[in-house]
Amino acid sequence: MPPALVVDREVLGPWSLRTSRDFWEGFAPAALSAQHAPEALHTVFLGERDWHRVESVVVQDGGSARISLTGHGDLAAAADQVSRFLSIDIDAREWPDVGRRDPVIAIAQERLPGLRPCGFHSPYEAAAWAVLSQRIRIRQAAVLRSEIVSRYGEDGAFPTPTTLRTLDLELPGRKNEYLAAVAEAALDGILDGAALRSIDAADAIERVQQIKGLGPFAAELVVIRGANAPDVMPTAERRLDAEIAHQYGSDRSAASLSEVWRPFRSWAAVHLRAMREIRARDTGESTMGSMS
């Protein structure tokens, strides 16, 4: 039996594991699957401290999260990683204030009570997704990712950077080259989630853009949905711009809302995207896009 660790974490501010999990399972690359009881979230991932496979089950108990982990490697670091990709390490006691300042966000908070943005398991996986999804449909990219996990992954987890950099996949364009660059960057520590979260967002995005094949849109995705930084205003997301125009009027922009949403600009953007997806499901319209 692999080693096990159980960690209890206090979650500050509004949080619903069920709301967060149920919404994020609607995104093609989410890979957050509920294989246990409805009130639990179960997922497998690579611990970015040592790239060992980790299995985790998260259960909410009021304002606390119980994180149960099994696997080899640094499980304490893996618990921190779970907290980061579920956004439960963020002190969100001031998040309701954003809704009081912005009636549109207030409606989203009411419609999605306790939603916290669930990101990719790591910036490494977000960067790999950014490469796979370039210039193809999201569902096609999701199939590609699933096939790579099935053939080369660690029993349900994404392949390690050491494995990924050696693969010669049948992919269009320069995707193999770019995936190898992502793998090298992960091994070099450039895609460390805690490090990217700890520095200024603009500097983090610039750092990620140094990786071959990752432009501004991909770099934002890695920082916002990979490091799960809570206060970054997306600047390269057309669907967010469309939703802002729909909710606030064509004369408003993300920049004009920036101060209203601080210090939760990423969260506000995710809530708007969530409302767009809900409206699309209600009307049958297709708006599936990236996770940024």
> What mean pLDDT comes out for the span 28-56?
78
223-280 confidence digits (pLDDT tens): 999 999 999 998 877 788 889 999 999 888 888 898 999 999 999 999 998 888 888 7
Task: Please give the residue that has the higher pLDDT: either 33 or 275.
Answer: 275
Q: In the sheet where 64-71 sits, what is the strand order?
A: 4-10, 64-71, 53-61, 40-46
Instruction: Report the alpha-carbon distance of residue 42 to residue 32 in Å, rounded.
Output: 7
> What mean pLDDT comes out for the span 160-189?
95
CA angle 206, 32, 273 (to 5 degrees): 60
Residue 69 burial (CB count, 10 A): 23
pTM, two decimal places: 0.91
Residue 203 burial (CB count, 10 A): 11
The amino acid at 277? E
The mean predicted confidence, pLDDT, of the chain is 90
Sign of the C-alpha dihedral computed for residues 190, 196, 199 and 205 taken in this order: positive
Domains of the chain are: 4-93 (3.30.310), 123-226 (1.10.340.30)
Instruction: Report the alpha-carbon distance of residue 23 to residue 18 in Å, rounded.
Output: 8
